[in-house]
Amino acid sequence: MAWDPIWERVFSSQAWGKYPGEDLIRFVARNFYAAPDRAAVRILEVGSGTGANLWFLAREGFAAFGIEGSPTAARQSRQRMDAECAGWDRAPRGGDVVVGDIARLPWRDAHFDAVIDSEAVYCNSYEESRAIYREMHRVTRPGGRLFVRTFATGTWGDGIGERIEERRFVADSGPLAGKGPSRFTTLEELPALLAPWQISEVNLVTRTLDAQREVIREWIVEGARR
């Protein structure tokens, strides 16, 4: 299952982040700020949520595309970009946000210059996640770039609540509680998980919560289509 209906309730019932993370901004800047025509650079985010990353991409002049399972989140992202990013979905950029399944991307092969997973794929099982990353690889051009932010083992939620399979739990406390299944990844798993992507950089980002009693650990992975 590439999307859990629980996220429609989550997006319908609480405010969500409005701005992209520094790591994503750095990834886009390093790879695409020097492009002679930003409108010709197509970037797709899978599980785009309420559109914080799409908003940033559109504001910077790129062709921003998103696919999201929650109709509420997709509508919110469209509304914000319509209000703040004039022309984001019209020629020459022609960006779009669609409601759909991230395991079955509705775009042709080699269509995008980059694809983004900012803590969306982790909701799926290991095998489902591998299939999603292969699908992301399919729609990216040769030499195109990959950005992944995903929860690492040891994050608050790993090992607590209902165990579904190895390193996958429905947490009953912490920031992941009430958000369905969460899969936590080891460093050693990343190459096979992301194959056939060629990984170029892996970094571990940590922060603490609950007066430093709990930790959030996230892998920031960059790669390229071979």
| Higher pLDDT pick, 48 / 174 | 48
* CA angle at 201 for the pair 168 and 127, rounded to the nearest 5°: 30
Contact 71, 6 (CB under 8 A): no
Give the pLDDT score at 2. 60
Give the pLDDT score at 21. 95
User: What is the β-pairing status of strands 182-183 and 162-165?
Assistant: unpaired
Give the pLDDT score at 226. 86
Span 146-175, mean pLDDT?
A: 95
Return the closest-CA partner of residue 173 out of 155, 185, 149, 186. 155
Q: Which CATH superfamily hosts domain 6-224?
A: Vaccinia Virus protein VP39 (3.40.50.150)
Delimit the domains of the chain by residue range. 6-224
pTM listed for this prediction: 0.94
E strand segments, the chain: 42-46, 63-68, 96-99, 112-118, 140-151, 162-165, 168-170, 182-183, 198-209, 214-224
91-149 pLDDT, tens per residue? 999 999 999 999 999 999 999 999 999 999 999 999 999 999 999 999 999 999 999 99
Environment class of residue 34 by beta-carbon count within 10 Å: exposed (0-12), middle (13-18) or buried (19+)? exposed
Residue 166: other Cβ atoms inside 10 A: 10
Q: First-to-last CA distance in the chain?
A: 27
Span 200-221, mean pLDDT?
A: 96
pLDDT above 70 coverage of the chain, percent:
96
Give me 151's structure tokens.
């929860």
Span 161-181, mean pLDDT?
A: 93
Residue 1 has pLDDT above 60, yes or no: no
Span 181-186, mean pLDDT?
A: 97
Residue 6 has pLDDT above 80, yes or no: no
Span 164-182, mean pLDDT?
A: 93
Give the pLDDT score at 4. 65
20-78 pLDDT, tens per residue? 999 999 999 999 999 999 999 999 999 999 999 999 999 999 999 999 999 999 999 99
- Bridge partners (DSSP) listed for residue 113: none
